[in-house]
Amino acid sequence: MNEFIEKGRDFIGYEYKSVTVKRSSADLFIDSYPSFGWQLEGTSLPIGSVNSVTLKFKRDRKIANKTELTRLQRQFEAQVAEVECLEASKVMGASIAAYVIGIVGTAAMAASVFAFLADMIVLCVVLAVPGFVAWAVAYFLYLNIRKRKTEKVTPIIDGKYDEMYEVCEKANGLLAY
């Protein structure tokens, strides 16, 4: 009663790809890579990197329109990188401004300490007040600049996501089922 069923005897060769991405964009890759013919095999945490995850994919080596799918995949990855840069730009300028103001406040406080050590109490107070003010202003300056930059960059990021979804739609249309 040994019956050998001969359906499904076609060999499928796979190509494999591991992608290490930020945790915040892992879902985007998991949802989008099947549009390029990739199947998620698993995830793992890279050693020494807390904020990222490695995604492991596979796809048929003989997939139809492989060249065009690869080109669209590279375009998708470039758009994801642009979105990550735009996201980082929300806080970059604000951080720099806050650090500069904080350093100015720290310099004023250091001068105040030296004035105190030199028994110039009036100068000590005159330098300490701007030092404390600069420290307090740095935080609120950061919040204000970040808010303005976020309002400016958010529509651009939304447009990039729309472009990414269009690329995924094109790629998905190329897959032969």
pLDDT at 50: 83
Same domain, 135 and 170: yes
Single pTM value for the model = 0.77
Q: What is the pLDDT of residue 176?
A: 63
**Are residue 51 and residue 119 in the same domain, yes or no?**
no
**Do residue 98 and residue 50 come from a single domain?**
no
My answer on whether 95 and 159 are in the same domain is yes
Q: 16 by DSSP, 3-state: which?
A: strand
Q: Are residues 104 and 146 in the same domain?
A: yes
Contact 164, 32 (CB under 8 A): yes
**Whether residue 94 is found in the same domain as residue 149:** yes
Number of Cβ within 10 Å of residue 139's Cβ equals 12
**Cα(112)–Cα(114) distance, rounded to whole angstroms?**
5
Question: Is residue 79 in some structural domain?
Answer: no
**Does one domain contain both 122 and 177?**
yes
Residues with pLDDT less than 50, the chain: 1-6
Long-range contacts of 117-123 (CB under 8 A, 24+ apart): none
Query: Count of domains in the chain?
Result: 2
Phi, psi of 56 (to 5 degrees): -115, 125
User: Does some domain include residue 33?
Assistant: yes
Q: Is residue 27 part of a domain?
A: yes
Whether 75 is in a domain gets the answer no
By 3-state DSSP, what share of the chain in percent is helix, strand and coil, each rounded to 5? 70, 15, 20
Report pLDDT for 60: 87
Q: Are residues 139 and 175 in the same domain?
A: yes
pLDDT recorded at residue 88: 93
Q: What is the per-residue pLDDT for 4? A: 44
The bridge status of strand 39-44 relative to strand 52-60 is: antiparallel
| pLDDT at residue 7 in the model | 54
Q: Which residue has the tokens 């929300």?
A: 90
Looking at the fold, whether 47 and 14 belong to one and the same domain comes out as: yes
Per residue in 138-167, pLDDT tens?
Answer: 999 999 999 999 999 999 999 999 999 999
Which of these, 113, 96, 105, 111, lies nearest to 135 by C-alpha position?
105
* Domain hosting residue 17, numbered range: 1-63
Residue 76 lies in a domain: no
State the pLDDT at residue 51.
87
Whether residue 54 is found in the same domain as residue 97: no
